[in-house]
Structure 1
Amino acid sequence: MKLLENKTAVIYGGGGSIGGAMGRAFAAEGARVFLAGRTPGKLDAVAASIRNEGGLAETAIVDALDESAVNGWVDSIAAQTGSIDISVNVISRDALFVPMIDMPIAAFGQALDKLARSLLLTTQAAARHMVKQGSGVVLHFGGSDATNSAPGLGTVQIGCDLVEAMRRQWACELGPSSIRVISMRTGGIPESLPDVPETAPFKQQMIDATLLKRAATLEDVGRVAAFLASEQARSITSTQVNISCGALVD
């Protein structure tokens, strides 16, 4: 039996590289995957790749900051499938690489507000159904580690810390309903960057920073996410899972 047989997974940012990798891995393990995003072409491409491998995938244009749109979409999926088993939010973030002393106040607030609101909205929408059914898994990308802070990261590390703080609180509140909340940290996925000469130095830096001298791949992300969402990881919650190949040392 496949790891996620008969499970229902919703993925915000499903047309992106990370969301697509998770969607393909979930479908390969038997899940029915619902991909949300704002770019039809990207969503359709991921869905087509899943269907070509015999998986089940549907797409929808959903703004993860629109409360009525998020709730309506999730409620319709639950009515159709009978459950919401996995919820993933990997929408793009507004990263501002600016020293804090020079950070525009409005831009700082807007970047963190987008992240916090989308995580709150999407998790609330799934949690309502998960609490009723007494099961579920919420996955996010985070990566809080004070030792990895560096000058000029701006909202990047602060945003990761925010994800981790929300993960801890959600895990505490949802644990009694057998709902697990987990975040993943990678140290960077070279494949997720555009394949152009300008990104080559950054990709090499990601590899050089690892202990294994290789970076995690999109396939790695998908496989680990599928495992974490499965019953084989049923004892794992309220933690961040490190798949950085040693770039982030615990």
Structure 2
Amino acid sequence: MTSASRQGTVAVVTGAGSGIGAATARRLAADGATVVLTGRTEDKLKTVVAEAGDDAGRMHVRIVDSSDEKAVGELFDSVVAEFGRLDTLVNNAAVARPGKVTETDTENWSLVMRIDVDGVFFGCRAAVPHLSETGGSIVNVASVSGIGGDWNNVAYNAAKGAVVNMTKAMAMDHAPDGVRVNAVSPSLTMTDMTAGMTDDEDLMARFADRIPMGRGARPEEIADVIAFLSSHDARFVTGVNLPVDGGLSASNGQPRM
């Protein structure tokens, strides 16, 4: 994709202060889009912009909690008022709280659902009317944890499963409006969220054994797929949940023989 391919377009990326969100914001800005980076921590968002070099002028920070219904609605109205349009929404903001169902308290269950599910719902609901004016698209960041179960991660599994099926439902509902809705499902990705895992050499060896490509993803590798799905090149693609997992989901689950 050339830097001219998104000239004149406007994108919103949630959870853009680090990891996949930051990489996606950088990629879309490099491709020429005006990118609004949202999150709850201003310093992290400003650091992403400062590190973007020549593309920083196309990046704009907004402090928004994606689980705040009112704030999300106001965000999209203000983006369109300031920049004149909306072409792309990337719902990336998420949290995880590990635990079995018997170990997950209501507070942590509700936190995961508010950010990982409600945040996607609020963002999509506010964005679709604007996206229908431009023939725009949504890419939701789901997870392989929304395709199959993990041990000890019931809240996150439930939330990401909801994002996968919400994506498909919205793709059908809004295709007549000219809005495409797709998702990506990464496996292990080297981000702040997984830092505690990636420091565990034994655990990383077990991941490498299960992922055919033998490693976790870099955030930029997920961002490149998000960029494709949100682009004109994917203009006949909607309702897809694309695993970006180094081949993990190709397995039937049996051990290496």
Deviations 1:201-242 (A, max 9, x none): 444433332112233221211211111111001111101112
Alpha-carbon distance between aligned partners in 2 of 1:7 and 1:100, rounded to the nearest angstrom: 43
Which residue identity lines up with residue 239 of structure 2 in the other structure? S
Work out which of the residue numbers 78, 86, 90 in structure 2 matches 1:84: 86
Seen in structure 2, the aligned counterparts of structure 1 residues 147 and 191 have a Cα distance that, compared at 3 Å, is closer
Alpha-carbon distance between aligned partners in 2 of 1:226 and 1:110, rounded to the nearest angstrom: 28
8 Å CA contact retained: 1:3, 1:226? no
Where 1:83 maps in the other structure, the secondary structure is: coil
Which residue identity lines up with residue 46 of structure 1 in the other structure? V
Structure-2 residue corresponding to 1:225: 226
Where 2:180 maps in the other structure, the secondary structure is: strand
Structure-2 residue corresponding to 1:5: 7
Cα offset for 1:77?
Answer: 1.2
Alpha-carbon distance between aligned partners in 1 of 2:110 and 2:162, rounded to the nearest angstrom: 13
Alpha-carbon distance between aligned partners in 2 of 1:36 and 1:167, rounded to the nearest angstrom: 21
8 Å CA contact retained: 1:190, 1:203? no
Seen in structure 2, the aligned counterparts of structure 1 residues 125 and 14 have a Cα distance that, compared at 3 Å, is same
Cα offset for 1:97?
Answer: 2.0
Seen in structure 2, the aligned counterparts of structure 1 residues 13 and 191 have a Cα distance that, compared at 3 Å, is closer
Structure-2 residue corresponding to 1:40: 42
Which residue identity lines up with residue 179 of structure 1 in the other structure? V
Which residue identity lines up with residue 206 of structure 1 in the other structure? F
Higher relative contact order (CA 8 A, sep 6+): 1
Seen in structure 2, the aligned counterparts of structure 1 residues 245 and 55 have a Cα distance that, compared at 3 Å, is farther
Find out whether 1:239 has 2:240 as its counterpart.
Answer: yes
8 Å CA contact retained: 2:189, 2:217? yes
Structure-1 residue corresponding to 2:215: 214
Which residue identity lines up with residue 127 of structure 1 in the other structure? V
Structure-2 residue corresponding to 1:128: 129
8 Å CA contact retained: 2:146, 2:159? no
* Identity rate, percent: 24
Moved more, 42-51 or 196-205: 196-205
Cα offset for 1:107?
Answer: 3.5
Deviations 1:13-63 (A, max 9, x none): 111211000001101111111001111110001111224446510101111
* TM-score normalised over the length of structure 1: 0.89
Cα offset for 1:99?
Answer: 1.8
Cα offset for 1:144?
Answer: 5.6
Cα offset for 1:181?
Answer: 0.6
Cα offset for 1:146?
Answer: 7.8
Alpha-carbon distance between aligned partners in 2 of 1:136 and 1:37, rounded to the nearest angstrom: 22
* Two-structure CA RMSD over aligned residues (Å): 2.4
Seen in structure 2, the aligned counterparts of structure 1 residues 121 and 196 have a Cα distance that, compared at 3 Å, is closer
Residues 75-224 of structure 1 mapped to structure 2, 5 A cutoff: 75-93=77-95, 95-131=96-132, 133-143=133-143, 148-192=148-192, 193-194=194-195, 198-224=199-225
Where 1:74 maps in the other structure, the secondary structure is: helix
Which residue identity lines up with residue 40 of structure 1 in the other structure? E
Cα offset for 1:197?
Answer: 7.6
Alpha-carbon distance between aligned partners in 1 of 2:16 and 2:78, rounded to the nearest angstrom: 18
Where 1:212 maps in the other structure, the secondary structure is: coil
Seen in structure 2, the aligned counterparts of structure 1 residues 240 and 41 have a Cα distance that, compared at 3 Å, is same
Moved more, 143-152 or 9-18: 143-152
Find out whether 1:21 has 2:20 as its counterpart.
Answer: no
Moved more, 199-208 or 2-11: 199-208
* TM-score normalised over the length of structure 2: 0.87
